[in-house]
Amino acid sequence: MEVLGGFCLCRRKKYKEVIEPWEKPYDPFRFSYKSLYKATRGFNNECRVGEVLYKGTLPNVGDIAVKRLSHDAEQDMRQFVAEVASMGSLHHKNLVPLLGYCRRKDEVLLVSKYMEGGSVD
């Protein structure tokens, strides 16, 4: 039974996200790490379309591009999340629509529409 409990705890840590109280207003722009992990088949190399860019598919959204970035300071993160939220409302024919983000440990994932043949690197 202890082995099973350890397996479940380890599995939870794999998908563990960082969620701060100040992020609550930005929830509509937040994706779960688990959903992005599944969409990119575990960030599989076959889904990699750039150095830090992966193609995935989400139900009800379609093809997405997930860009993996690292971060450090909390103030930088607050500014980053606010910018992601404001960019999500921008619409222009030359801009790739930004759908949202996910934050996990020292990693940030940006989620946008996938543009075939384009580049968001």
Q: Tell the burial category of 81 from Cβ atoms under 10 Å away from its Cβ (0-12, 13-18, 19+).
A: buried
Residue 38: pLDDT band by 50, 70, 90 thresholds? very high
Question: Is 72 part of a structural domain of the chain?
Answer: yes
Biggest distance spanned by C-alpha atoms of the chain: 56
CATH of residue 71's domain is: 3.30.200.20
Q: How many folded domains does the chain comprise?
A: 1
Question: Is 8 part of a structural domain of the chain?
Answer: no
Question: Is 120 part of a structural domain of the chain?
Answer: no
pLDDT, mean of residues 96-107: 82
Question: Is 5 part of a structural domain of the chain?
Answer: no
Residue 5: pLDDT band by 50, 70, 90 thresholds? very low
Question: Is 2 part of a structural domain of the chain?
Answer: no
Question: Is 4 part of a structural domain of the chain?
Answer: no
Residue range(s) defining the domain that contains residue 29 = 17-113
Distance CA 99, CA 30 (A): 9
Question: Is 10 part of a structural domain of the chain?
Answer: no
CA 79 to chain CA mean position, Å: 17
